[in-house]
């Protein structure tokens, strides 16, 4: 996403990043920020709500494991896969246009999901909603960067972060409450209705802007989107088809080929979507390890815990939402306290603590569901939020900070999509090995009865794997962030 150092307005006027006066919208700044932040807050609510709704959808349509999992996975897949393309598209054809198009797609898709006559329609609608969410997120950030300068820009981006954090923290409570009141269809319809309100207001307060002229990297965008999509498809379908199924093997091979092709294309472009050479910078690579590991813990557990709690613990939607809120609310609260100690502790220490907290919480959960254990997992995620984004851009040369921010956010969202699918696949495989075909019913949240010990045992293996991955990630991050910065190369002496 562009930070609007150069903006091309409708009509062809070119503005530099330091205008003599602030943009007109900045004189009354809050309407633009309020609309964008409201829309952004709905995106994590749709994610956590989808995770809560998946077992209910699967039970209503008596669907298989894969079809049920797609209710949550389809949204996250397209959200991550379309981030890069929609960001470039917004800079080229207009950020307001992409924002309105994305919000329209998001709202319409969720209305379609709410009225879905089959699980296939619900899954397709969720995929469309994820694509719309990607458009809203990328164009919304660019709109704020263009509309505000100086201290106002810092404030509105703090508002954006708070809005997303509130959506994540309160999403389980909102989702669980709406499902308990009116079912999963009510949940999707209410989110869509709020999005529609934001859509109706947006044209009145947001003006059009564009980024610097340039070509859209269609080759890179298509191969990345297709590669990530086929990889997630393989990981979700393996839960029902098995690891040796020809379709799973073919899509996994296609994913590998497409992602290799993406790397080749990007190396040849003068202005690639992502400068993958940044991953060769040890400290930047370390920062990317953190959200990757957290995606396999905190984010994935938001999706795999609801059917377990319903099946084994006998919890209803409201109780499940409350249980997940115990994990998500610390993710909002902890950064406030972590920020207070950020001046006393190095980012390396805070990031290692975040992974250690997640690992400890996951290990504790192997002994049974405990509120303190899930709060620890959420606290680990929250610790990282205090310093992660700033560290990502501070460990590279200032001239590459924009590219570093774009690559880091793509790594984060891609990891979340892959983590949800991979952890779900692991749990499904382990459970199927213990109870056979009964695993499908358990993963839809149906009562475990005599199979509770098998479900708990399979989940415990996954949790131990998360704990081990967190410990390994903490060690890697500590080592990479401990490396000294490279010494600048001395200029050669000029002999006269």
CA 80 → CA 226, 271, 368, 412, distances in Å?
11, 21, 32, 9
Local structure of residue 11 (DSSP, 8 states): T
C-alpha to C-alpha distance for 342 and 349, rounded to whole angstroms: 9
Query: Which stretch of 51-60, 291-300, 338-347, 483-492 has the lowest confidence by average pLDDT?
Result: 483-492
Residue count of the chain: 496
Q: For the chain, how are helix, strand and coil distributed in percent, rounded to 5?
A: 80, 0, 20
Q: What does the pLDDT read at residue 15?
A: 40
Helical pair 452-481 and 300-311, crossing angle rounded to 10 deg: 160
The pLDDT value given to residue 87: 75
Q: What is the pLDDT of residues 429-455, one digit of tens each?
A: 899 889 888 888 888 778 878 888 999
pLDDT of residue 398: 67
Would you put residue 492 in left (φ > 0), alpha (ψ -120 to 50) or beta? beta
Characterise 368 by phi-psi region: left (phi > 0), alpha (psi -120 to 50), beta (else).
left
Q: What is the pLDDT of residue 402?
A: 57
Q: How far apart are CA 467 and CA 438, in angstroms?
A: 27
> What are the φ and ψ backbone dihedral angles of 275, each rounded to 5 degrees?
-85, 90
More confident residue, 195 or 396: 195
Task: Provide the pLDDT for residue 405.
Answer: 67
3-state secondary structure of 15: strand
Note the pLDDT tens digit of each residue in 334-380: 877 765 666 677 888 889 999 999 999 999 999 988 899 999 999 99
Question: Which 8-state DSSP code applies to residue 297?
Answer: I
**What is the Cα–Cα distance from 184 to 197, expressed in whole angstroms?**
21
Q: What is the pLDDT of residue 364?
A: 96
Q: What is the pLDDT of residue 438?
A: 87
Of 220, 180, 187, give the one whose Cα is nearest residue 322: 180
């Amino acid at each position: 996403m562009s930070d609007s150092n150069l903006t091309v307005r409708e009509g062809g006027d070119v503005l530099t990043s330091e205008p003599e006066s602030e943009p007109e919208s900045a004189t009354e700044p809050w309407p633009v920020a309020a609309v964008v932040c409201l829309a952004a807050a709905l995106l994590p609510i749709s994610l956590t709500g989808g995770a809560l709704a998946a077992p209910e959808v699967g039970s209503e349509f008596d669907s298989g494991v894969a079809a049920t999992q797609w209710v949550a996975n389809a949204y996250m897949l397209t959200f991550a896969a379309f981030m890069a393309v929609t960001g470039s598209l917004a800079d080229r054809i207009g950020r307001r246009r992409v924002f309105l198009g994305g919000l329209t797609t998001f709202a319409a898709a969720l209305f379609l999901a709410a009225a879905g006559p089959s699980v296939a329609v619900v899954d397709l609608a969720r995929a469309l909603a994820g694509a719309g969410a990607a458009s809203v997120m990328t164009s919304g950030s660019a709109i704020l960067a263009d509309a505000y300068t100086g201290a106002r820009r810092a404030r509105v981006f703090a508002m954006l972060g708070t809005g997303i954090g509130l959506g994540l923290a309160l999403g389980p409570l909102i989702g669980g409450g709406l499902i308990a009141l009116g079912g999963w269809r009510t949940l999707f319809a209410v989110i869509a209705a709020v999005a529609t309100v934001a859509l109706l207001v947006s044209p009145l307060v947001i003006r059009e802007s564009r980024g610097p002229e340039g070509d859209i990297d269609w080759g890179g965008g298509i191969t990345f989107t297709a590669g990530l999509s086929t990889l997630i498809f393989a990981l979700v379908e393996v839960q029902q088809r098995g690891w040796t199924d020809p379709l799973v093997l073919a899509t996994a091979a296609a994913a590998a080929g497409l992602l290799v092709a993406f790397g080749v294309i990007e190396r040849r472009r003068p202005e690639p979507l992502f400068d993958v050479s940044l991953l060769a910078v040890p400290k930047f690579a370390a920062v990317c390890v953190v959200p990757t590991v957290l995606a396999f813990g905190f984010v994935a557990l938001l999706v795999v815990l609801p059917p377990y709690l319903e099946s084994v613990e006998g919890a209803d939607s409201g109780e499940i939402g409350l249980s997940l809120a115990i994990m998500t609310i610390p993710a909002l609260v902890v950064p406030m306290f972590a920020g207070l100690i950020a001046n006393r502790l190095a980012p390396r220490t805070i990031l290692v603590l975040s992974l250690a907290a997640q690992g400890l919480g996951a290990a504790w959960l192997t002994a049974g569901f405990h509120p303190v254990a899930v709060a620890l997992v959420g606290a680990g995620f929250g610790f990282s939020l205090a310093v992660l984004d700033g560290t990502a851009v501070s460990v590279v040369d200032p001239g590459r900070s924009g590219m570093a921010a774009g690559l880091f956010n793509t790594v984060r969202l891609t990891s979340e999509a892959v983590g949800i699918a991979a952890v779900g696949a692991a749990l499904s495989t382990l459970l199927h090995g213990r109870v056979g075909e009964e695993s499908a019913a358990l993963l839809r949240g149906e009562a475990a009865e005599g199979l509770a010990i098998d479900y708990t045992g399979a989940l415990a293996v996954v949790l131990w794997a998360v704990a081990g991955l967190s410990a390994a990630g903490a060690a890697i991050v500590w080592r990479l962030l401990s490396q000294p910065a490279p010494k600048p190369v001395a200029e050669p002496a000029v002999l006269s």
